[in-house]
């Protein structure tokens, strides 16, 4: 869980912690900010934006730096980070299933305005991106084999 393929790379444990932190942060953004924002432009092409979010987030060809609050610090053991993420994701799914007006609220994001539904797509894409990162770590020829 702590193997790193290089000094500038994250371990599986660090990726798990990051995913759990971001899930919480994005969910709070959706519930505390985006859902209190007004609707987007009437001619907003949400289908195009949905497709862009789904294509952009999992794409690991471009790397970024996590904002400081989302950089792993070892605050949890890997199993605690996974448990935290699973509970947070269950909360996100319950919100998605019980909230009818997700398209009616638009908030700013790095790639541009996203409605609440698109923010939830962003969350899923973020997790997919880092699941791929975990698979990359495990594919390293020096990854410990048990």
- Classify residue 86: in a domain, yes or no: yes
Look-up: residue for tokens 């794409």?
Answer: 59
5 in a domain, yes or no?
Answer: no
In the chain, the number of structural domains is: 1
pLDDT value at 146 more than 80 = no
**pTM given for the model:** 0.92
In a domain, 56, yes or no: yes
In three-state secondary structure terms, 77 is coil
Could you report the per-residue pLDDT of 25-79, keeping only the tens digit for each? 999 999 999 999 999 888 999 999 999 999 998 889 888 889 999 999 999 999 9
The model's pLDDT over 120-131, given as tens digits with 9 standing for 90+, comes to: 999 999 999 999
Q: Is the dihedral of CA 137, 120, 90, 36 positive or negative?
A: positive
**Could you give the C-alpha distances from 30 to 62, 90, 140, in angstroms and in order?**
25, 15, 36
Half-sphere exposure of 95 (CA within 13 A, CB side): 20
Beta-carbon contacts of residue 53 (< 8 Å; ≥ 6 apart):
111, 114, 118, 121, 122, 125
| Domain containing residue 24 | 14-62+76-139
């Amino acid at each position: 869980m702590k193997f790193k393929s290089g000094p500038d790379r994250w371990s599986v444990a660090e990726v798990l912690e990051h995913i759990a932190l971001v899930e919480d942060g994005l969910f709070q953004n959706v519930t505390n900010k985006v859902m209190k924002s007004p609707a987007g432009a009437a001619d907003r092409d949400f289908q195009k934006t949905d497709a862009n979010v789904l294509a952009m987030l999992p794409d690991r060809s471009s790397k970024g730096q996590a904002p400081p609050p989302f950089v792993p610090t070892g605050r949890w053991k890997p199993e605690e980070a996974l448990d935290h993420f699973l509970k947070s994701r269950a909360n996100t799914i319950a919100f998605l299933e019980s909230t009818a007006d997700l398209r009616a609220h638009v908030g700013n994001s790095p790639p541009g305005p996203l409605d609440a539904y698109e923010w939830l797509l962003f969350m899923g894409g973020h997790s997919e991106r880092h699941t791929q990162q975990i698979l990359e770590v495990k594919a390293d020829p020096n990854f410990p084999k048990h």
